[in-house]
Structure 1
Amino acid sequence: MSKSHEQQKHTLLGWQAQGGPPRLSVDLYQFGRRIEADGSWTIYHVFTGTPAHIGSWTMTGLNRRNAEKALTILNTH
Structure 2
Amino acid sequence: MKSKHEEHALALSVWESEGGAPDSSGQLYQYGRRFEGDGTYTIHHVFTGEKVRIGSWTMEGLNAKNAARALRVLNTLQGASD
> SS where residue 29 of structure 1 aligns?
coil
Larger relative contact order, structure 1 or 2 (CA cutoff 8 Å, min sep 6): 2
Matching of residue 70 in structure 1 with residue 60 in structure 2: no
Instruction: Give, in whole Å, the separation in 2 of the partners of 1:8 and 1:37.
Output: 20
C-alpha contact (below 8 Å) 2:26/2:76 kept by paired residues: no
Task: Supply the AA of the counterpart residue of 2:46.
Answer: V
> SS where residue 6 of structure 2 aligns?
helix
Give the TM-score normalised by the residue count of structure 2.
0.79
The Cα of 1:46 is off from its aligned counterpart by 0.5
Structure 1: tracts of 5 or more residues without a match? none
Deviating above 6 A after TM superposition, structure 1's stretches of 4 or more consecutive aligned residues are none
The residue number in structure 2 matching 1:24 is: 26
The Cα of 1:16 is off from its aligned counterpart by 2.4
Superposition pairs for residues 38-49 of structure 1, below 5 Å? 38-49=38-49
| Cα RMSD for the two superposed structures | 1.7
Instruction: Give, in whole Å, the separation in 2 of the partners of 1:69 and 1:54.
Output: 15
Instruction: Give, in whole Å, the separation in 2 of the partners of 1:7 and 1:24.
Output: 24
Give the TM-score normalised by the residue count of structure 1.
0.83
